[in-house]
Chains A and B, each alone.
Chain A
Amino acid sequence: MTRDMIDWTMQARVEAFLYEYAASLDEERFDDWITLFDAAGCTYEVLSRENRDLGLPAPIMGCYSYGMVCDRVAMLVKGVLTYRHNHLLRQVGNVRVRGDAGNAGAELSVRAGLVVYQSDEEGVSSLYMVARYEAQLTDIGGSFLIRRMAVAVDSFGIDTMLAVPL
């Protein structure tokens, strides 16, 4: 795609959507995060580069229905899981959008880079995750709904654990 072909309005809308996606997780507004997914049917997966390159199907985290996406964060909110509670900062960049612009119901294919930093309670920060978002979005006019979100992780040697979705 050349610069001339970019639909800048669509680009800005998708970027704003991804920023809200990242911020809702950073700020632990999990109820807001799940509203970004299509309740009629969606998937969310975290995939390692290693398995992808080998053509192996197992995800690190795999939710194959809207209910499963809700469950992933419900287990955090309800205190079921004992996990390292770091502050996370997601940086989304190099956002690329493909698909029909502007038509309600249009399907968009979105890719973006993701870097996540973690900071502990004593203010020590480190790099937690290097990954890419690969999303299928439905344009619903004012916003989008996620039909499919795959987070492809380069840093698949995961530091301690992955409790909070990326």
Chain B
Amino acid sequence: MKQAIDPAWPRDDFSRVPYAVFTDAEIYRLENQRIFRGPVWNYLCHDIELPKTGDFVTTWVGDTHVIVARNGAGLVHAFENSCAHRGAKLTSAVRGNAAHLTCPYHLWTYTLEGDLQGVTFQRGVGGKGGMPACFEKKDHGLNKLRVAIYGGLVFGTFSDHAPPLEEFLGPHSLSQIDRLLVQRKPKVLGYLRQRIPGNWKLYNENVRDPYHGSLLHQFQVSFGLQQPTMRGGIKLDADLKNTWNHSIITEQDAASQKIVAEAYAGTGKFNPDLKMADPALTRVPLDLGDNYKTTILSMFPTLIVAQVDNTYAIRHLRPKGPDLVELHITYLGFESDTPEQTRDKLLTVNFIGPAGYISLEDGEALRLVQQGIRHRRPGGHEVLEMGGVGPIVDTDYLSQEISIRGFWSFYHQIMGLPAAGRAEATP
């Protein structure tokens, strides 16, 4: 068991990642304890999903099922979806509205703040039975999370030691959340759910990996949506866990097909003559007008706010064990959108989600990695050297894996794993 929970990290620049972190049940258990119940801010929902008093949604913080509700004072509270009495799930609804929450089993009721309000037969029946005199309702509330909101994004933490939310998110996340989700008021156009048979951290790698963008996603390359020659890069927060990666249209992109053709020579994957019968999807204008083709904000541990072309979405990872993750997507439009802009977003949704011309391939990539590492000799490591090894720094180019190393650096620290780079092999 020691080897399972103590895989070797041979290099302290995190250019090697032990495959065991993607498959080991004990590591997964520790992640729930040290990350999801640790000093991080977990994404819960968007403020616009709780417009009225009593509105609630349910979501996941690691393996923990959580209710997020708006109370009469307009404040958002979050607590575990498990009765303080005998542990029953309070609600099976994904969302709803309630004056208070009632456990179906013995009808104990809770306020929208998660406090115990009513205990049936607390004084007994006909003078007999009931709870003991020492029973205090205030001691039996639901397990609560501390809640903080930035730019409409609602976060919760189980820990008293999480830093202030804005510090945790870092300056790049804050400024890009403002750009994507605050300067226009968002509205939900739909939810998309994808159950990917891969570890949740593989998706964290995927969104911090612009190297794959123009290689796996032929559709993007074929229709000029993403090119390895595009201007762009990555910026990390102070403790390297959160990444802002972006690409910008430049004039040289017209000439970049030649470079792409050379890079793809012999792979049989490049198809510059590909045409669409109806190219309307690829002609939707960028409605922010700032020439950003992609903005991927990857925020530890499970949140991604993404602009891919003219799509805007909140992606939330909901781990379901070491081998499975639900990718939950909240697909957004904006209150100010014209009917035509809304129609455009119902078209460009074809880029993303489980059937997305771009995103569906990420699901497959994760499945293939999980399958591959499950069925190889125990031990072994990923090799993350694209863009160079050593210091983990911002880049002004896209074909790199440095930001993935940033994720692992923070992961390694918060998990309290043995020091990286030590010479001796794990016993």
| Nearest neighbor of B190 in chain A, beta-carbon distance | A58
Which chain A residues lie closer than 8 Å to B365 at the CB level?
82
Q: Which of A27-85 contact B (CB under 8 A)?
A: 46, 48, 50-51, 54, 56-68, 70-71, 74-75, 78, 80-84
Flag if B219 contacts A160 (CB, 8 Å).
Answer: no
In the complex, what distance in Å separates the CA atom of A156 from the CA atom of B280? 26
Q: In this assembly, does B374 line the interface, its C-beta being within 8 Å of a C-beta of chain A?
A: no
A/B pair count, beta carbons within 8 Å: 119
Which chain A residues lie closer than 8 Å to B364 at the CB level?
82-84, 160-161
Q: In this assembly, does A16 line the interface, its C-beta being within 8 Å of a C-beta of chain B?
A: no
Given contact pairs A58-B192, A82-B361, A83-B360, A46 touches B355 in the complex (Cβ within 8 A): yes
A-B CB contact pairs (8 Å), 9 listed:
A65-B278, A68-B281, A71-B278, A71-B281, A83-B360, A157-B193, A161-B354, A162-B354, A163-B360
Q: Which of B189, B193, B355, B363 contacts A56 (CB 8 A)?
A: B189
Question: Please, how many residues of chain A have a CB less than 8 angstroms from a CB on the other chain?
Answer: 36
Q: Which of A50, A66, A160, A163 contacts B191 (CB 8 A)?
A: A50
Flag if B222 contacts A80 (CB, 8 Å).
Answer: yes
Q: In this assembly, does A158 line the interface, its C-beta being within 8 Å of a C-beta of chain B?
A: yes
User: Per-residue 0/1 for B81-99: is the Cβ within 8 Å of any A Cβ (1 yes, 0 no)?
Assistant: 0000000000000110000
In the complex, what distance in Å separates the CA atom of A83 from the CA atom of B353? 13
Q: In this assembly, does A159 line the interface, its C-beta being within 8 Å of a C-beta of chain B?
A: yes
Flag if A56 contacts B349 (CB, 8 Å).
Answer: no
Closest 7 interchain pairs by CB?
A58-B190, A67-B278, A67-B277, A61-B355, A158-B354, A162-B355, A161-B360
Q: Which of A58, A68, A70, A80 contacts B271 (CB 8 A)?
A: A80
Flag if B278 contacts A68 (CB, 8 Å).
Answer: yes
Flag if A156 contacts B193 (CB, 8 Å).
Answer: yes
Which chain A residues lie closer than 8 Å to B176 at the CB level?
none
In the complex, what distance in Å separates the CA atom of A99 from the CA atom of B235? 59
Question: Please, how many residues of chain B have a CB less than 8 angstroms from a CB on the other chain?
Answer: 41
Flag if A62 contacts B188 (CB, 8 Å).
Answer: no
Q: In this assembly, does B218 line the interface, its C-beta being within 8 Å of a C-beta of chain A?
A: yes
In the complex, what distance in Å separates the CA atom of A87 from the CA atom of B357? 20
Which chain A residues lie closer than 8 Å to B342 at the CB level?
57
Which chain A residues lie closer than 8 Å to B276 at the CB level?
67, 71, 74
CB distance from A86 to the nearest CB of B (A): 11
Flag if A59 contacts B346 (CB, 8 Å).
Answer: yes
Which chain A residues lie closer than 8 Å to B277 at the CB level?
66-68, 70-71, 74
Flag if A81 contacts B355 (CB, 8 Å).
Answer: no
Flag if A159 contacts B195 (CB, 8 Å).
Answer: yes
Flag if B219 contacts A60 (CB, 8 Å).
Answer: no
Flag if B326 contacts A157 (CB, 8 Å).
Answer: yes
Q: Assuming A58-B190, A81-B218, what are 12 further A-B pairs, CB within 8 angstroms?
A: A48-B191, A57-B189, A58-B191, A58-B331, A62-B347, A67-B277, A80-B274, A82-B216, A83-B361, A160-B354, A160-B363, A163-B360
Which chain B residues lie closer than 8 Å to A82 at the CB level?
216, 218, 361, 364-365
Flag if B219 contacts A81 (CB, 8 Å).
Answer: yes
Flag if A56 contacts B188 (CB, 8 Å).
Answer: yes
In the complex, what distance in Å separates the CA atom of A148 from the CA atom of B354? 22
Which chain A residues lie closer than 8 Å to B195 at the CB level?
157-160
Q: In this assembly, does B367 line the interface, its C-beta being within 8 Å of a C-beta of chain A?
A: yes
Which chain B residues lie closer than 8 Å to A51 at the CB level?
190-191
